[in-house]
Structure 1
Amino acid sequence: MKTAVMPLAFDFEGQAVRTINRNGVVWWVLSDVCAVLDIRKHRDAASRLDNDERGSVLVDTLGGPQEVTAINESGIYSLVLTSRKAAAKRFKKWVTQEVLPALRRTGTYSIGIQPDISHVLGVAEAAILTSQNAVRVLTPKAQAYHSLTCMDGLHTLTDAAKLCGQTRNQFLSKLEVLSWIYRPGGKGCWSAKADKIKAGYLTHKYCDIRDADGQLKTRSQVVVTDRGVAKLKIILARLENTMLAGDAA
């Protein structure tokens, strides 16, 4: 029986491209790649690839586990050669010069401007050396908070609220009204709307933490990208102006 995996969604020029790690090899969701390359029939595209360039994977989605076709790096290059879209060359460069090197170095990729990785690694190494004793005594809750907030280009809902000049409660209420976030079943933790993930405004951050009993658990939290913060500042400013105009009238 296949086990559903959680894909990592990256942003390429405003379009979401999901990837899956299979035994240390990056596989790409075919339908997302075809959308970027303007290839309309992704099933036909899959049939033109060699057997070792394509495969099916079971991924977690907001609607539950879903089986999708994925392609490896060789498959990516095969499709790029068949695409007539001007973005194909930029997509190939993005894959080879940004995403894959970042994944191989750090196992992650953040949406937005990439920092000087050598500087980041130097700062991280120094921080680790100076804080090892403190980390050992962190509670599981504090460890989870640390993991969820140390993100380049991503912001927790609380931090995003501050950046937008809102209190956390105001911010969450407005995001719910604007259909950016929701609570599955009307309760529990917040989840990001699928269209906002696809647009590159929101994503989920996952981390493994140990509870007070030492059990390993995976925690998910909605986070806002730099692109999402910029978009929300515009939307919230418009809402405020509309409200002020209504009060004046």
Structure 2
Amino acid sequence: MATSDLQVFTNDAFGTIRTVEHQDKVYFCGRDVVTALGYTNTSKVIQDHCRGVPFRYPIVDALGHTQEARFITEGDRYRLIFSSKLPAAQDFEAWVVDEVLPTIRRHGVYAIDELLDDDEFLEPAIIQLRSERAKRLAAEQALLEAAPKVSYYDVVLQSDSLLTITEIAKDYGLSAKKLNSLLHDAGVQFRQSGRWFLYARFAEQGYTQSKTHEYDEGKTRTHMYWTQKGRLFIYDLLKNQFGLLPVIEQDGGAA
């Protein structure tokens, strides 16, 4: 596969991450990753922690000058995440693994909602994305209008997909870090080696499933996803122990 065009990913918490695909592999702009993870000396950090062969790609800097930027492998991105002292490093990992990479591999592009509304820039793949988004929003709106006040249970029962903690947190207007903290405070999960695990009494209840992602020459990283049963468990727990309701059930959250 030839080298793809530069793709730009934006996140409110981590800023801009630029990527390219080269020989069927995704490479990340080293400077962007280093900055997102709270490092300061880009060259030293990459030299100290990265082991893969970097890929050079021309980018235009803020002054309009073209520079051959160093792009790093997925494996080196993980190495930088594991070495980072930034509390949000795991949230960065989740964003890249759960949203950025699947979008690149499914559509070959990453499109934010604003781009989806601008026909001048749309490629066929993004048109497909917009169609998918419209169908999803229409279904959600129909569900909201089906009753005077739709419960969170009604929404959950419409889906059987696995969810990241970030996606569930958005139901409540929370960050993934905050929701993980609440589940920890409630005695549901504990943190070890940078990952969250359920305590034994919850681990066999079907609340979560694990998926393993290969990131560098056979090396793997396992991520925990929540089932819809687990999503309802979190709903009951937050409601009963913390008095928290999802946005859809808060005052003004639904008609």
Shorter chain as normaliser: what TM range?
Answer: 0.3 to 0.5
The structure showing larger relative contact order (alpha-carbon pairs under 8 Å, at least 6 residues apart) is 1
Larger helix share, 1 or 2: 1
TM-score by length of 2: 0.41
